[in-house]
Structure 1
Amino acid sequence: MPTGHIVVLGAGVIGLSTAIRLLEQGYEVDVVARDLPQDPKSIAFTSPWAGAHHVSVATGADMRMHEFDKRTFEVMSSMIEQGHESLFYCTQMEYREQPRPTGEADETSQLSLMSRYHPDFRWLDAHELPEGIQHGATFKAILIDTPTYLPSLATQFEKLGGRLHRCESLSSLSSALSSSSSPSLARADVLVNCSGLGAWTLVPDDKVFPTRGQLVIVRAPWVAEGKTRLGPGGVYDYIIPRPKSGHVVLGGCAEKNNWDPKPRPDMARRIKERCLALCPKLLPPDKRGRGTIDDLDVVEDAVGLRPTREGGIRLEADRVRIEGEGRDVPVVHHYGHGGYGYQSSWGSAEAAAELVKAALSSGRSKL
């Protein structure tokens, strides 16, 4: 059984998933974070804002992400079978405005990679395609009720013996392990850096940047099917049901390097118009056929900042010098998941746990 004391920085979906896997492997684990899952939502804490569903965006350009997503789907499927109350299967419809790739490009396209592990996958026939859609597919996806799923991870972490600590502000990675912060944290053998967007200043890593996403959440408990429409230039629309609350998440946008935390009325209107065109059933039954976006039962307009990194996930071992104490501690960096943190969480966490094991034995490794 492994031995060692690990401090995980960050209590988002990546930090908590990683911490749980480390506890399961026998390590002593503390999670240090400014924001905790039970807190009111804050623009500085990304995970509570997510949609979310497991619909991979991996292509042949990033097979590592594909493997992480595939593994996460396996884990979440097992969690559903065990009765997890925040995960649900649903039928997913994927529409593409561009023609289906051919040859080798098709074999490693986003949809083709998903066909390798999503149940009930099939390509849509021509008569099933809405106007303006060139190709598409349907399959069984997983819905993630983030308002309850994230707190459930924190509960699981604590039941396994982990400890959560709030730290209002950190100036650097090393400050998380300084003796002035906490004697128990100062004796950690490895720091796992799951700080998300915070890595921009804490590492610091100038490859990290926010990708702004705006959502409109509506009440429509009769909608049970997820839908995504993808057009050229990255324009996309998505519909993600939340069965527990009867809410449906509508999106979206992906605005790089935009820190604006406030919902914009023009973007909200665009999202509602396009999503209503994609799914007329969003309207209450008595409004269908004659209703407009003004008849949607809007619960909330929201904004989240996806913690994106140029080059993708940073999953790498390093060392950090503890300021004023003359000692080095191994660090495993695990951040930069952008908008796919939930759907890659368990596969990515298991890879990070392997790096922790290697860091304890050799002090330096890389994936």
Structure 2
Amino acid sequence: MTSDSGDGVLVVGGGVVGLTTAVVLAERGHRVRLWTRDPVERTTSAVAGALWWPYRIEPRARARAWALRSLDVYEELAGRPGVTGVRMVDGVLGETGLDEVAGWATSRLPGLRAATPGEYAGAGLWARLPLIDMPTYLPWLRERLTAAGGTVECRTVASLDEADAPVVVNCTGLGARTLVPDETVRPVRGQLVVVANPGIRTWLVTTDASGALAYFFPQPGGLVLGGTAEDDAWDPEPDPAVAEAIVRRCAALRPEIAGARVLGHRVGLRPARPTVRLERLRLPDGRVLVHHYGHGGAGVTVAWGCAEEAAGLV
């Protein structure tokens, strides 16, 4: 399909995957509209931590390739952190060895090294990775889309049949479960606590002895503490007991967190799928439908690489 003025592409879904895909398409010359159920500031993506690292996403090889392409973009955007919300920040990937990331990560991130005992009391990797402040980044992405001529409309879609364009890109995430329908899309519930930062400048991702997640990310709006990964859990409301456990796990890693003032709670439902669905279909009426969903907990991490591949299918 050519990208002349008569070429209309409708992207359905305003999370980070949908927004990024719309930006790539618009900047390649397509006339792009984006429909989003919620304002971008209230999408699942807005809840994300959001550290660049492939997490809960398959197929692994393709996800790593998408992630590395996205890394190129984030490194460039980190040159304007106040505008884009992207910063390069040091931290530790706990319970991870160099052998586990050999090849794909070590060749691209030459600064990767084993964490010292003073940095982490266990086996871990010290890394400098993109850390994205989503309340800044998502509105910036929306502005980049409109600057490229795209439009954004808040609209709830009950069926993809409502999509009135010759090319439709389905980036509805968890919504694809009913819209496609695709019952292989399942929620993985994540709960976070935001506290006033007691002076922590590095991030940490690890698991405790029971296998529970524990992580903290220093963001401009506070220290983001996590977290959970509950399969097939649909509750969008924060659980006070879960919040207390999150703070307790993080305080075991950095004691100063224990007394930090709580600023807020977040819950997001990650759109998990056995594998990302990135597929071009020709509909009976001749229109093109590109499915682009199922990114699990790695939507931010793979967004640019995956969006470019999706745009190539248009």
Shift of 1:85: 3.7
State the match for 2:135 in structure 1.
Answer: 147
Distance 2:237 2:170 in 1: 28
Is 1:116 paired with 2:116? no
Please tell me whether residue 27 in structure 1 is matched to residue 30 in structure 2. yes
In 2, Cα distance between equivalents of 1:250 and 1:208:
26
Aligned to 1:290: none
Is 1:206 the counterpart of 2:183 in the alignment? yes
- 1:65 matches 2:72: no
Structure-1-length-normalised TM-score: 0.79
1:185-215 per-position Cα deviation (integer Å, ceiling 9, x unaligned): xxx2210000111100100001011100010
Give the superposition deviation at 1:55: 2.5
Contact 1:213 1:252 in 2 (8 A): yes
Q: Does 1:275 align with 2:216?
A: no
TM-superposed deviation, 1:128: 5.0
The answer to whether 1:332 aligns with 2:290 is: yes
Measured in 2, the distance between the counterparts of 1:82 and 1:216 equals: 27
The structure showing larger relative contact order (alpha-carbon pairs under 8 Å, at least 6 residues apart) is 2
CA distance in 1, matches of 2:149, 2:196: 38
- Report the secondary structure of 2:71's partner residue: helix
Deviation at 1:173, TM superposition (A): 0.9
TM-score (norm 2): 0.91
Report matched runs for 1:1-367 at 5 Å.
2-3=3-4, 4-38=7-41, 41=42, 45-57=43-55, 62-81=60-79, 84-96=83-95, 100=97, 106=99, 109-110=100-101, 113-125=104-116, 128-130=119-121, 133=122, 135-167=123-155, 169-177=156-164, 188-220=165-197, 222-230=199-207, 235-242=212-219, 244-245=220-221, 247-282=222-257, 293=258, 295-309=259-273, 311-320=274-283, 327-356=285-314
Query: CA separation in 2, counterparts of 1:171 and 1:67?
Result: 33
Judge which range, 260-269 or 230-239, deviates more. 230-239
Separation in structure 1 between the aligned mates of residue 25 and residue 10 of structure 2, nearest angstrom:
10
Q: Give the alignment's Cα RMSD to 1 decimal.
A: 2.3
Q: Is the 8 A contact 2:208 2:249 kept in 1?
A: no
Q: Is this contact kept in 2: 1:213–1:305, CA < 8 A? A: yes
Is this contact kept in 2: 1:119–1:140, CA < 8 A?
A: no
CA distance in 2, matches of 1:315, 1:269: 38
Cα deviation for residue 116 of structure 1 reads: 2.7
Superposed displacement of residue 274, structure 1: 0.8
CA distance in 2, matches of 1:12, 1:238: 23
Alpha-carbon distance change, 111 to 54 in structure 1, aligned in 2, over 3 angstroms: farther
Q: Secondary structure at the match of 2:216?
A: strand
Instruction: Kindly indicate whether the alpha-carbon contact (under 8 Å) linking 1:31 and 1:165 is maintained by their aligned counterparts in 2.
Output: yes
Contiguous gaps of at least 5 residues in structure 2: none
Counterparts of 1:11 and 1:143, CA distance in 2: 20
Q: Cα offset for 1:280?
A: 2.4
- Number of aligned residues: 310
Q: Is the 8 A contact 1:58 1:110 kept in 2?
A: no
Please give the per-residue CA displacement for 1:316-359, whole angstroms capped at 9, x wherever unaligned: 111345xxxxx242111001111111111101101101111xxx
On the 8 A contact 2:191/2:227 being kept in 1, the answer is: yes
Q: Cα offset for 1:35?
A: 1.2
Equivalent residue, structure 2, for 1:285 = none
What SS does the corresponding residue of 2:78 show, helix, strand or coil? helix
User: 2-side partners of 1:128 and 1:213: how far apart?
Assistant: 26
Bigger Cα Rg: 1
Shift of the 17–221 alpha-carbon distance from structure 1 to 2, 3 Å rule, reads farther
Identity %: 36
* Alpha-carbon distance between aligned partners in 2 of 1:263 and 1:164, rounded to the nearest angstrom: 29
Q: Which residue of 2 aligns with 1:183?
A: none
Whole-angstrom distance in 2 between the partners of 1:213 and 1:58: 12
**CA contact 1:173–1:320 (8 Å) conserved in 2:** no
- Find the aligned partners of 1:51 and 1:228 in 2 and give their Cα distance: 11
2:14 and 2:137 map into 1 onto residues whose CA distance is 13
Tell me by how many angstroms 1:238 deviates.
0.8
Matched residue type, 1:256: D
**How far did 1:231 drift?**
5.2
